A and B are shown apart, each in its own frame.
Chain A
Amino acid sequence: MYNIWLGLNILWETALLAWLPIAVALMLWAVLMGVALGRGGSNWRGGLRVAVPAALGVAVVAFFALPAATQSSLAEMGYWVDWVSLAGLALACGAVVAAYVWPIGAMACRKPAAA
């Protein structure tokens, strides 16, 4: 329980350091979602078919890029805990990208209007 609380505080303090770009990013996502929800016919299931591959692609790139981005390297993955942590962070990066691609994909794959 304490570690979860500590983790949340770490995320919060980290976010405080970059609050402006995070706020802009959240607003952009909210706008995308609002537009996709507001427009009739958004194909959310279809959007997933775009978002999930995009997320996986980003996750793969992140998996190889994150160690260097943290001034480390894949050679420093010492044991399974490192690999699992890296995979988890890479998937999280993918999930963030998916959150943006999904509404865009939903709008792009709009269902045709009923005749």
Chain B
Amino acid sequence: MTPPRETHPLAEVLGDTDRRRWLRGVGAAGLAAGALTLGSAAAVQAQRTQARIVVAGSGAGGLAVASRLRRQLEGATIIVVDRRQEHWYQPGWTLVGSGIWPKSAVVSSNARFMPRGVEWVQEMVAEFDPDANAVVTDGGRRIAYDFLVVATGLHLSYEQIEGMDVAAIGRNGLTSVYASPQAAHDTWRAMDGFRQRGGKAVMTLPSGPLKCAGAPLKMTFMLIDRLRQAGTLERTQVHFHTGLPDNTVFGVKAFNDQVLAMWDADGVQRHHLSRLAAIDIGARRATFVSPEGERQEVPYDYIHVVPSMRAPDAVKNSALAAREGPMAPGGWLEVDRHTLRHRRYGNVFGVGDINGTPRGKTAATVKAGAPLVVRHLSQVIAGQEPDLKFDGYTSCPLILREGSALLVEFDYEGRTVTTVPFVDPMQPSWLAWLMKVRMLKPAYFAMLRGRV
């Protein structure tokens, strides 16, 4: 049965091309009357439009963009498509996974942050049809749009690890902080149990794009700290297996080198070009593969699994996915790294982890990118071209131990960026820790509400 086609009435009268031309005229009038406001270089004054905008996803990026669009575009129809009821504060999962926060601290509800005046379709986008300017939900509903913001997040490819079972996280020394708040909580339970005895810990890090690329490092630092607190570090071996090249665990050299120096001092044994390919959970044995295909079976008492990541199927299998270049294998959204506008579909923008950009799958990148996406979308509605260049800002408060962290901030080029005055990013700091455990979550909530 063909799903009912939902089209805008104006499109049926004028046709899609005429409709967008009309929208541009109305939008341009509004934008011409506006001006930059203080406080955010990306902000523009509200404009009137009857544009129909679909936001695919209600995570950090989707809600931040929807909130801003609601205030920015008077008269626009804004539709958020996502079934999820719970809202997960993912930047807090390493704190849960290392026993700093309870699980409840990272779970709230999407209803709390969904902006008023936005239609919330509680289904998942199953298919993107950008040639027809429509998305299709898993409930069979076809939703037409004039403009689309893709904020789906990414897919965790645990299935690429033979024998891996997400439901087993927390048992038999198996941990992984990425899967869910419950997995983060179970990771802490397993870490807490392991640190009482010590033994052999295997930490992993694949190559390729990751959300929060610092999380595998944070979990290693916190494991060492918890072992030290328990007095069992001396009788524990910590091994770090990564698919990255020699002497590389992080994409910014200055921080990478500092991490390696600290790990060398703590006796962490590193294994590079070593990808986790299989795991026998019951027997506590992991298989790592070199680029040449050599397999090595490694026994462990505790393992932290980090899966490789890619775009969700709905994006990967669509015309929106990158077709060539380094972003193609992961099926990432093919956006211009500076404007966050799709390279081939000018009425499509991306925000958050789904973007095929060189760096920045963090909440901090969403915070920096969402105002820019809204600004550029507003400009395109008004018939103008995006005028700002996103520098790829991302931030990763790197927890070193309970009570201390590094405030790591950088851009696309890997250059250190400092947004807080006087802060030395290379200095282990209580202030960076305080920001991580007390300030970033309120800032995140303000971001969801479109205020920062």
Contacts and interface: CB of A to CB of B under 8 A. Distances in A.
B366 to A, nearest CB: 14
Given A3-B419, A70-B438, A82 B443 contact: no
The main secondary structure of chain A at its interface with chain B is: helix
A88 to B, nearest CB: 10
Interface in A65-88: 67, 70-73, 75-79, 81-82, 85-86
Interface residues of A, number: 27
B404 A72 contact: yes
B427 A73 contact: no
Interface in B420-452: 420-424, 427-431, 433-434, 437-439, 441-443, 445-446, 451-452
B269 interface: no
A24 to B, nearest CB: 21
Shortest Cβ-Cβ A-B pairs, 8 listed: A72-B403, A13-B442, A9-B446, A76-B403, A82-B430, A78-B429, A76-B404, A10-B442
Q: Which one of B38, B423, B437, B452 has the greatest number of beta carbons of chain A within 10 Å?
A: B452
Given A12-B446, A70-B433, A72-B403, A6 B427 contact: no
B40 interface: yes
Contact of A5 (B403, B423, B430, B452): B452
Interface of B: 38-40, 100, 402-404, 419-424, 427-431, 433-434, 437-439, 441-443, 445-446, 451-452
A16 B443 CA distance: 12
Given A6-B443, A78-B428, A81-B423, 12 more contacts: A2-B40, A2-B452, A3-B421, A11-B442, A13-B446, A71-B402, A71-B437, A72-B404, A73-B403, A78-B430, A81-B431, A85-B434
11 contacts: A1-B39, A2-B40, A5-B452, A13-B445, A70-B437, A72-B403, A76-B404, A78-B430, A81-B427, A82-B429, A85-B434
Given A67-B403, A71-B437, A79 B442 contact: no
Contacts of B429: 76, 78-79, 81-82
A81 B39 CA distance: 25
B402 A72 contact: yes
B443 A71 contact: no
Nearest to B40: A2
Of A3, A5, A11, chain B has the most CB atoms within 10 Å of the CB of A5
B434 A70 contact: yes
Contacts of B424: 79, 81
Contact of B427 (A1, A10, A14, A78): A78
B32 to A, nearest CB: 25
B430 to A, nearest CB: 4
A3 B420 contact: yes
Contact of B439 (A10, A16, A77): A10
Contact of B430 (A13, A16, A17, A76): A76
A51 B106 CA distance: 39
A72 B442 contact: no
B443 A13 contact: yes
Interface string A1-35: 11101100111111011000000000000000000
B417 to A, nearest CB: 13
Residue with the highest number of chain B CB atoms closer than 10 Å, among A6, A12, A17, A67: A6
A69 to B, nearest CB: 10
Contacts of A75: 403
B39 A2 contact: yes
A9 B434 contact: no
- Among B402, B420, B437, B445, max chain A CB count under 10 A is at B445
A73 B428 CA distance: 13
B216 to A, nearest CB: 22
B437 to A, nearest CB: 6
A78 B426 CA distance: 11
A72 to B, nearest CB: 3
Contacts of B420: 3
B430 A85 contact: yes
Name the residue in B403, B422, B430, B445 with the highest tally of chain A Cβ atoms < 10 Å from its Cβ: B430
Nearest to B442: A13
A45 to B, nearest CB: 36
Contacts of B427: 78-79, 81
A17 B39 CA distance: 25
Contacts of A67: 403, 430
Given A67-B403, A79-B424, A81-B424, A9 B452 contact: yes
A3 B443 CA distance: 11
B433 A81 contact: no
